[in-house]
């Protein structure tokens, strides 16, 4: 059989990386796929821009629709990003009977339900391994490797840019803005980097992971989202003193009354492997009832690492070109008619432990007042730490770690604390996950 024609919409960081990996490892890839894979056309915005890959033999166009519908293309690889033109391109490719590979988590998280329905009806595959955790084959691991399990929960460092910044903060290196600029220079950040630092990108990825882990529809709008932009260096330091590292985690957990979906900065005990995942590296911890915990680690962003996942998807698609569409691995791991309608819980119903930092006037009885507030809200305190010189009337930080409780209890306690005369300003609250059970 002749080569499989591939069209790539977008030749930026990931697109160029994909061409490079396909070229560099062509022989190995052909031996795996059973056919040569040839990039025949690619779409870019600027035809004059120099590319980080060899584009000789690739027909360049500024019209991604041409890539989506070209008769020479069997597999369309969408690497432009965004939800506008990218959605049109993917739907046009499906309508033209092409298989699709995409790295676009925003697209899958927000429009995946309609995309997969269209793909199912057209008998084509839409593969999206590179959309979550860069080069880590986490989609395949959950969808196929853990198919015998009832997944109980998963927790992951799933944004490389945020982890790159948090690692620098913990090491006391560079300002937030400088480190973010470096992540952008290295090609890790999204076109709009607020998606990284405000947690939106991690929420896109968590939406996808939760869907394939629990067999539920994609529900991005129900994820609780908090990024790292407001995290204070002082909390990174106090957390460290208490034996914790702060990581930006995406957490999806099965509870008796529904599913928790939340992304936020999280204190993790330093002794956990995942607490030691630094820089652009990602890791996803998955807990299944049969296997227990599995940890999946690797580069979460960057040209070659992400290209590794793009090419793996292309190989999968090529291997399946001649198979019966009804016998392929379902897009969202569970058969399309078998997705469960489990409720997504509001964040105030979620259960976790908390790190609380309070600025309090150093007066006799203040500590007793603070602990009484927690007792009244039915929250047990695990650790309490008072910092400072001990001078009377000075404003000093009090740091507390609580035991697990329901978030609405903490909200109630914080409201009461902030109304006390001896408490100054806002109370800082961060969530703590022990990731042990």
**Residue bearing tokens 């995309």:** 115
Select from 79-87, 257-265, 348-356, 428-436 the region that touches ligand NDP (CB under 6 A): 79-87
Q: Which is closer to ligand NDP, CB of 45 or CB of 319?
A: 45
Minimum CB distance to ligand NDP, residue 136 (Å):
11
Single out the segment in contact with ligand HSE by CB under 6 A; choices: 140-148, 157-165, 233-241, 247-255.
Answer: 157-165
Encoded one letter per residue, x for contact with ligand HSE by CB under 6 A and - for no contact, window 189-228 reads: xx-----x----x---------------------------
Site string for ligand HSE, 115-144 (x = CB under 6 A): -------------------x----------
CB 362 within 8 A of CB 393: yes
The CB density around residue 196, as the number of other CB atoms within 10 Å, is 28
Cα–Cα distance, 252 to 156 (Å, whole number): 9
CB of 303 to ligand NDP, least distance (A): 7
Q: What is the DSSP letter of 226?
A: -
CB of 159 to ligand HSE, least distance (A): 4
Among 70, 104, 161, 266, binds ligand HSE (CB under 6 A): 161
Q: Report the DSSP beta bridge partners of residue 246.
A: 267
Residue 217: burial class (beta carbons within 10 Å; 0-12, 13-18, 19+): middle
The values of phi and psi at residue 250, to 5°, are: -105, 130
Report, in Å, the least distance between residue 15 CB and ligand NDP.
Answer: 6
Q: Please choose, out of 188-196, 227-235, 289-297, 403-411, the segment that lies near ligand HSE by the rule CB under 6 A.
A: 188-196
Output the six-digit token pair for 200.
């939106």
d(CA 156, CA 251) in angstroms, rounded, equals 7
Q: Which of 98, 140, 205, 416 is catalytic?
A: 205
Tell me if residue 230 is catalytic: no
Q: What are phi and psi of 345, to 5 degrees?
A: -75, 145
Residue written as token pair 């882990």: 213
Instruction: Find residue 385's DSSP bridge partners.
Output: 399
Of 163, 167, 306, 405, which lies in the binding site for ligand NDP, with binding defined by CB under 6 A? 306
Report which secondary-structure segment, H or E, holds 60: strand 59-61
In the complex, the smallest distance separating the C-beta of residue 14 from ligand HSE, rounded to whole angstroms, is 9
CB of 160 to ligand HSE, least distance (A): 4
- Kindly compute the dihedral angle of the four CA atoms of residues 228, 234, 237, 239, in this order, to the nearest 10 degrees: -70
Give the residue among 314, 301, 316 at the shortest CA–CA distance from 19: 314
Minimum CB distance to ligand NDP smaller for 312 or for 347: 312
Q: Which does 157 bind (CB under 5 to 8 A by kind): ligand NDP, ligand HSE, none?
A: none
Site for ligand NDP in 106-145 (CB under 6 A): 130, 134
Burial of 171 (0-12, 13-18, 19+ CB in 10 A): exposed
Q: Which of 79, 263, 315, 401 binds ligand NDP (CB under 6 A)?
A: 79
Q: Which does 159 bind (CB under 5 to 8 A by kind): ligand NDP, ligand HSE, none?
A: ligand HSE
Residue 358 sits in the site that holds ligand NDP (CB under 6 A): no
In order, the DSSP letters of 324-379 are -GGGSPPTTSS-GGG---PPBPPGGG-EEEEEEEEEEE--TTHHHHHHHHHHHTT-
Q: Which residue is nearest to ligand NDP (CB)?
A: 12
Enter the tokens of residue 217: 């529809």
Residue with tokens 């690492």: 305
Contacts (CB under 6 A) with ligand NDP, residues 83-102: 85
Q: Give me the residues paired with residue 259 across strands.
A: 254, 344
Residue 10, CA distances (Å) to 56, 188, 200, 304, 429 in order: 16, 16, 22, 15, 41
The 296-315 contact track toward ligand HSE, x by CB under 6 A, reads ----xx--------------
| Chain residues that interact with ligand NDP, rule: CB under 6 A | 10-15, 43-46, 49, 62, 64, 79-81, 85, 103-104, 130, 134, 187-188, 190-191, 301-302, 306
| Chain residues that interact with ligand HSE, rule: CB under 6 A | 134, 159-161, 188-190, 196, 201, 300-301
Which residues are designated catalytic?
205
């Amino acid at each position: 059989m002749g080569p499989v024609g591939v069209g790539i919409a977008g030749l930026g960081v990931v697109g160029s990386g994909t061409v490079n990996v396909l070229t560099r490892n062509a022989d190995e890839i052909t031996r795996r796929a059973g056919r040569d894979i040839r990039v025949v056309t690619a779409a870019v915005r600027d035809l004059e821009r120099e590319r980080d890959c060899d584009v000789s033999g690739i027909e360049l166009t500024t019209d991604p629709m041409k890539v989506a519908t070209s008769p020479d293309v069997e597999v369309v690889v969408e690497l432009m990003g965004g939800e506008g033109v990218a959605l049109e391109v993917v739907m046009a490719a499906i309508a033209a009977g092409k298989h699709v590979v995409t790295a676009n988590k925003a697209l899958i998280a927000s429009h995946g339900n309609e995309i997969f329905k269209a793909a199912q009806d057209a008998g084509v595959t839409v593969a999206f391994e590179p959309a979550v955790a860069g080069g880590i084959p986490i989609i395949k691991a959950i969808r196929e490797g853990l198919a015998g399990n009832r997944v109980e929960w998963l927790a992951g460092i799933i944004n490389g840019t945020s982890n790159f910044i948090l690692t620098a903060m913990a090491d006391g290196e560079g300002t937030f803005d400088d480190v973010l600029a470096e992540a952008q220079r290295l090609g890790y950040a999204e076109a709009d980097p607020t998606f990284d630092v405000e947690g939106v990108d991690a929420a896109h990825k968590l939406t996808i992971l939760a869907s394939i882990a629990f067999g539920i529809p994609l529900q991005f709008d129900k994820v609780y989202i908090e990024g790292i932009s407001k995290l204070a260096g002082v909390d990174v330091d106090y957390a460290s003193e208490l034996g914790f590292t702060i990581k930006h985690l995406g957490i999806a957990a099965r509870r008796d009354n529904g599913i928790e979906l939340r992304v936020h900065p999280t204190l993790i005990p330093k002794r956990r492997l995942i607490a030691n995942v630094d820089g652009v590296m990602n890791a996803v911890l998955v807990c299944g009832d049969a296997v227990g915990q599995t940890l999946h680690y690797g580069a979460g962003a960057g040209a070659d690492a992400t290209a590794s996942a793009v090419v793996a998807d292309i190989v999968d698609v090529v291997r399946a070109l001649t198979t019966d569409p009804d016998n392929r691995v379902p897009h969202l791991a569970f058969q399309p008619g078998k997705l469960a309608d489990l409720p997504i819980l509001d964040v105030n119903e979620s259960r976790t432990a908390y790190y609380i930092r309070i600025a309090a006037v150093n007066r006799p009885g203040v500590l007793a007042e603070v602990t009484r507030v927690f007792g009244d809200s039915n929250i047990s305190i695990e650790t309490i730490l008072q910092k400072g010189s001990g001078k009377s009337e000075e404003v000093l930080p009090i740091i507390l770690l609580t035991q697990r409780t329901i978030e609405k209890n903490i909200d109630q306690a914080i409201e009461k604390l902030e109304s006390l005369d001896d408490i100054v300003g806002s109370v800082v609250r961060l969530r703590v996950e022990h990731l042990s059970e």
